[in-house]
Structure 1
Amino acid sequence: MQPLSSRERTYNLNELANTFFDVLVIGGGVTGAGVALDAASRGYSVALVEKLDFASGTSSKSTKLVHGGIRYLPNFDVALVHEALVERGLLLQNAPFLVNPVAFVLPIYEGDMHPVGMPFTTPKGFGLNRLLDAGLWMYDGLAGRRNISHHRHISREEVLQRAPALNPEGLKEGFIYYDGQTNDVRLTMTLIRTAARYGAIIANYAEVTGFEKEHEHLTAAVVRDTLTGQQFSIRARHIVNATGVFSEEVEALTGEIPQIQVEPSKGVHLVLSRDDLKIGDDAIVLPETEDKRILFIVPWESRAIYGTTDTGSGDLNHPTSSQEDIAYLLKYLNRYLTVHLTEDDIISTYAGYRPLVKPRQKGGSTAKLSRTHAVIESPSGLITITGGKLTTYRRMAQDTLDLINRRDSMKPVHPTESLPLQGSAAWPITQHELQRRGTRLGLSSDIIKHLGGAYGSNANQVLDLIEQDTTLKEQLISDLPYIRAEVIYACRYEMAMTPSDILARRTSIVLEDRERGQGVVDEVARLMSSEFNWPSTEQQTLTQTYRSGIQNQVLAEKH
């Protein structure tokens, strides 16, 4: 029995309704998945529910970086940067197939006054490069023995060699420093699968609609299966609210006034072709914006991700990239690069909300709100973990479980510091074996590399499917490395329930394909139908739902 197969979801829902758990986690993003894994690895019985699909909120909308957050250094958020750099090092160690080091080129131009969003400057910008150098030494130093590689000062010539599309006019010199890159959704799915392996009972499309109490203390969560409408309760000693920007809404379901204030801040990204941007394997930091933001262009397979903005709130369930957001990003892209890109060059856009923890005073810019996380207990016993960032998910989970350990009068232990995520076992050796096996099955090196980076050693299960049915090695889209076998794999091992789960999350097709998956959704639904035995009407409904969702998103971008 596969604890995360779509077929076993019904079994899991039954288990959730009939078991008394130590810990119930609400939220299937990276933080909730991290909490479930930490709790299960400490020996607790664990349940996790997610109202939509895993990683369907903020955890699929990041810049795909595992980084210390270089922009926090000028604000002297040294503790936050140190924590994130330590976590970056642990992720490189515990999930080597999922996290890759990437070099960042930071160009310095004549007249720059606020590079990397520095809140202060010097008279006429004199000596700013020395300040940047000192900041980068600090960045390296805070990572300690886990540092990827030391930054260095590079000449104007080397800047242009590494980033040929940069505008040479006024370019003086630059720096190169190192951070990590990941696939945020694959990281979340890997955590979910690792937690399941440690015994966590998990279900997506299971929404918490209320709570049950005894003597003003929470005893259970009321949950609705959003696919069937069925309602049930999950009983647990400890209930953790890990719902990010929805933390206040979930806390309000207890009937109490929420203890926390989350100020959602929207981040918008554009996905562009690497060829159009003329970039190689190095990321580029755009030096300066009027509102002191920091913008990254990061290579992402055959594409590049560019962002991000930091604007106010809107519909939390449907974040969209507005015309204004897109125009803002294109303005700086065309200011600093010699290529001239328009909206027609954009492959896709995506928007998500960061759960910034709001200070008590009103007003102030969201760029200055805290990215530090907070673990808060409400009088009813609900534990809320919010704030933070993708990179610090493990530390957020650890702090949450330390609180639960203290409640249970147990000494906290930290197993996840050295716990390899599923797929990481003997990675360098497995990587070579995958290469050999994939080549024998007739797969291109691009596809083999993609499978290794997405699934680690679990890619062997994808290859098993191809051995059973060679038609499954066909690509879904000719210029992307995704293959049919991944659809079957997602149904059998990753609880994919709809075409959208596969096109938007188990793969990144919705971001990387110019048609955003609309041309391949019929085939994906057909492959899923072979697993689920859907009637043709349901297959049609699901494909139509996907298409109209994409069309609504594209329409929203035009406004």
Structure 2
Amino acid sequence: MFVVTMHSLSSTERRHNLTNLTGERYDVLVIGGGVTGAGVALDAAARGYRVALVEKIDFASGTSSKSTKLVHGGIRYLPNFDFALVHEALVERGILLQNAPFLVSPLGFVLPIYEGDRHPVGMPFTTPKGIGLGLFLDIGLWMYDALAGRRNIRLHRHLRRKGVLKLAPTLVPEGLKDGYMYYDGQTNDVRLTLALIRTAAQFGATITNYTEVTSFISEHGRVTGVNVHDRLGDQQLTVHARHIVNATGIFAEEVEELTGTEPLVRIEPSKGVHLVLSREDLKLGDAAIVLPETEDKRILFIVPWESRAIFGTTDTGTGDLDHPTASKEDIAYLLKYLNRYLTVKLTEENIISTYTGYRPLVSPRRPGRSTAKVSRTHAVLQSPSGLVTIVGGKLTTYRRMAQDTVDVLNHRDGSPVVHPTQSLPLQGSAGWPFVQRELEKQGSALGLSHQTIAHLGKSYGAESLAILDLISGDPSLAQLLIDDLPYIRAEVVYATCYEMAVTPYDVLARRTSITLEDHQRGLGVVDEVAALMAKELQWTPEQQKSLVDAFCRAMDRQIAAEKIEV
């Protein structure tokens, strides 16, 4: 059997890490366990720094689990002439395809062109009756291909009207002229964040979730540590570090205020809402569809996601940052354009779930400017207190954001600047082509379906063999959690033993995507999940019931906010 060496992030490891946090002085402390914070922790650890990371809730519990699940350059930034941003994102897309081949895969996008289009993909200009806009789009897509350089996935191509409808048969045929097929990448944002966390741990990083920074410790006006509240054990910890990095996304301004200095950054959160729908309802094939134009000059994506489809996103103002929800207006906005461009007519009853996140945009210089027009560039800022804050950016560029952040630390220390993560495979990537064949062979022998085997490979890569080992020891773990989804019981045990999942919500909302993909949002399976976790974590019946009740309350709140029946 092919053997995979793993670093366990169990509850026992979490307790050990909490002890280490108070007993050691670190070179770098990262605040924030989203994709950017995880990327900073990995980059710093790979450069030889002694690293700790603390996250106030769970890994990827904020914006990092609320994306469109794309690794892309962003075609809508081309009309704004953000060529540097697009180039940077396309390079990072190529690096991710190289470093995490099981997690990131190429995806084709059908971009239809209709008569009467005036501002497709957010073009800031138009032409009389839209004549010639197709040519401008073609030029833009050639630029998109060229900006990717040698890392380009595949050249875009023109599609005749018949070709567009063959790839996207539910598009409204009336007024359809022609279209294009271009290529970007797709990923599971939470699994990507967890792969970064696990890889950083392999490089020696001390990592904990449910540990919230409550205040900073300063000496001579410079931050030298933080006070942390362990939210699970209800204990206070003190952590010391030479460098402290604020990678808290939409909460960056709030965290910087804890230093007692005026924040250098002003975050303008932009709400992005997505709908999760059935691929069958949409008759969606293997290609994503771009809805090219909205009245507010946005573009919307319909993206295949296993048996489901993701549709979004909005770009509007702020709200409750801790509990983002989709409003009735958000849902109506998305359904309006879905039904405008597709022949299938969907209603709220067709929505499986919604999810909402906030993009941490740096405030524009001109107040009142639409957040849809704010670029996703990032900035590394150094406070007079010594705190380093990384803000802006997007999922695709997390690695470059982390690299730029750790470069600042290298310059502070006067140490050589190296960039190890440019060619550093993430955990699960080692020997992937061979492991993929082994996974198919062993998975079939254990009676797993093709869908489950494919899901395990795309989610865990080489580490999926460890899940098969769990099944070999207990065949009941091969059972599906939900009949029409590929998740199995072994994943619950794996998440608890290797991925620091400590609540049912961690498993159902982040280690898996059951709360998004399941019509019942996981409410029908939470008791089974909690029972599996209780066996590993030695919960008392009272603890188990309390955690189940907490999950049910959270789901009920979300459903009530959406006012969608389940």
TM-score w.r.t. length of structure 2: 0.98
Matched with 1:70 is 75
Q: Distance in 2 between matches of 1:495 and 1:420?
A: 21
* Corresponding letter in the other structure for 1:440: A
Deviations 1:394-425 (A, max 9, x none): 00000000000000001210000000000001
Residues 8 and 497 in structure 2, CA contact (< 8 A), matched pair in contact too: no
Does residue 1:547 correspond to 2:552, yes or no? yes
After TM superposition, give the deviation of residue 359 of structure 1 in Å. 2.3
Residues 222 and 232 in structure 1, CA contact (< 8 A), matched pair in contact too: yes
Select 1:396's aligned residue among 376, 382, 401.
Answer: 401
Unaligned runs of 5+ in 2: 1-5
Does residue 1:271 correspond to 2:276, yes or no? yes
Matched with 2:421 is 416
Deviations 1:495-529 (A, max 9, x none): 00000000000000011000000000000000000
Does residue 1:471 correspond to 2:476, yes or no? yes
Residues 98 and 456 in structure 1, CA contact (< 8 A), matched pair in contact too: yes
Q: Distance in 1 between matches of 2:549 and 2:364?
A: 43
Matched with 2:265 is 260
Percentage identity across paired residues of the two chains: 70
Does residue 1:337 correspond to 2:342, yes or no? yes
Select 1:462's aligned residue among 430, 449, 467.
Answer: 467
Does residue 1:13 correspond to 2:18, yes or no? yes
Q: Distance in 2 between matches of 1:387 and 1:122?
A: 33
Matched with 1:245 is 250
Select 1:381's aligned residue among 380, 386, 405.
Answer: 386
Select 2:352's aligned residue among 347, 350, 368.
Answer: 347
Matched with 1:146 is 151
Q: Distance in 2 between matches of 1:190 and 1:469?
A: 26
Deviations 1:76-109 (A, max 9, x none): 0000000000000000000000001000000000
After TM superposition, give the deviation of residue 3 of structure 1 in Å. 4.6
Does residue 1:129 correspond to 2:134, yes or no? yes
After TM superposition, give the deviation of residue 533 of structure 1 in Å. 1.2
Q: Distance in 2 between matches of 1:379 and 1:125?
A: 52
Q: Distance in 2 between matches of 1:101 and 1:3?
A: 30
* Corresponding letter in the other structure for 2:104: V
Residues 33 and 60 in structure 2, CA contact (< 8 A), matched pair in contact too: yes
* Corresponding letter in the other structure for 2:242: R
Deviations 1:407-457 (A, max 9, x none): 000121000000000000121111011100111111111111100100000
Matched with 1:163 is 168
Partner SS for 2:376 = coil
Partner SS for 1:7 = helix
Matched with 2:485 is 480
Q: Distance in 2 between matches of 1:96 and 1:232?
A: 38
Q: Distance in 2 between matches of 1:533 and 1:10?
A: 14
Q: Distance in 1 between matches of 2:174 and 2:8?
A: 57
Matched with 1:313 is 318
Select 1:29's aligned residue among 34, 56, 61.
Answer: 34
Matched with 1:538 is 543
Select 1:40's aligned residue among 25, 37, 45.
Answer: 45
TM-score w.r.t. length of structure 1: 0.99
Matched with 1:225 is 230
Matched with 1:449 is 454
Q: Distance in 2 between matches of 1:479 and 1:505?
A: 19
* Matched residues, number: 559
Partner SS for 2:336 = helix
Residues 7 and 202 in structure 2, CA contact (< 8 A), matched pair in contact too: no
* Corresponding letter in the other structure for 1:11: H
* Corresponding letter in the other structure for 1:433: E
Runs of 4+ in 1 over 4 A off after TM superposition: none
Does residue 1:112 correspond to 2:117, yes or no? yes
Deviations 1:225-259 (A, max 9, x none): 01121001110000000000000000000001100
After TM superposition, give the deviation of residue 558 of structure 1 in Å. 2.5
Deviations 1:154-210 (A, max 9, x none): 000010000001000000000000000000000000000000000000000000000
Once the two structures are overlaid, the 10-residue window that deviates more, 32-41 or 361-370, is: 361-370
Residues 170 and 343 in structure 2, CA contact (< 8 A), matched pair in contact too: yes
Q: Distance in 2 between matches of 1:118 and 1:18?
A: 55
Matched with 1:209 is 214
Q: Distance in 2 between matches of 1:259 and 1:222?
A: 22
Partner SS for 2:11 = coil
* Corresponding letter in the other structure for 1:541: S
After TM superposition, give the deviation of residue 214 of structure 1 in Å. 0.4
Cα root mean square deviation, aligned: 0.9
Select 1:288's aligned residue among 267, 275, 293.
Answer: 293
After TM superposition, give the deviation of residue 371 of structure 1 in Å. 0.6
Unaligned runs of 5+ in 1: none
Q: Distance in 2 between matches of 1:121 and 1:2?
A: 55
Partner SS for 1:477 = coil
Deviations 1:110-157 (A, max 9, x none): 110011111211122110000000000000000000000000100000
Q: Distance in 2 between matches of 1:247 and 1:532?
A: 33
After TM superposition, give the deviation of residue 361 of structure 1 in Å. 3.1
Deviations 1:52-76 (A, max 9, x none): 0000000000000000001000000
* Corresponding letter in the other structure for 2:252: S
* Corresponding letter in the other structure for 1:190: A
Residues 475 and 484 in structure 1, CA contact (< 8 A), matched pair in contact too: yes
After TM superposition, give the deviation of residue 2 of structure 1 in Å. 4.9
* Corresponding letter in the other structure for 2:513: S
Q: Distance in 2 between matches of 1:467 and 1:529?
A: 21
Q: Distance in 2 between matches of 1:558 and 1:128?
A: 40
Q: Distance in 1 between matches of 2:301 and 2:365?
A: 31
Partner SS for 1:276 = helix
Deviations 1:314-346 (A, max 9, x none): 010000000000000000000000000000000
* Corresponding letter in the other structure for 2:181: I
Q: Distance in 2 between matches of 1:171 and 1:2?
A: 53
Residues 70 and 139 in structure 1, CA contact (< 8 A), matched pair in contact too: yes
Partner SS for 1:74 = helix
Residues 31 and 248 in structure 2, CA contact (< 8 A), matched pair in contact too: yes
Q: Distance in 1 between matches of 2:197 and 2:71?
A: 18
Partner SS for 1:221 = strand
Once the two structures are overlaid, the 10-residue window that deviates more, 280-289 or 355-364, is: 355-364
Matched with 2:3 is none
Residues 3 and 201 in structure 1, CA contact (< 8 A), matched pair in contact too: no
Once the two structures are overlaid, the 10-residue window that deviates more, 45-54 or 110-119, is: 110-119
Q: Distance in 1 between matches of 2:7 and 2:337?
A: 48
Residues 107 and 186 in structure 2, CA contact (< 8 A), matched pair in contact too: yes
Residues 27 and 50 in structure 2, CA contact (< 8 A), matched pair in contact too: yes
Residues 7 and 201 in structure 2, CA contact (< 8 A), matched pair in contact too: no
* Corresponding letter in the other structure for 1:533: Q
Q: Distance in 1 between matches of 2:203 and 2:80?
A: 40
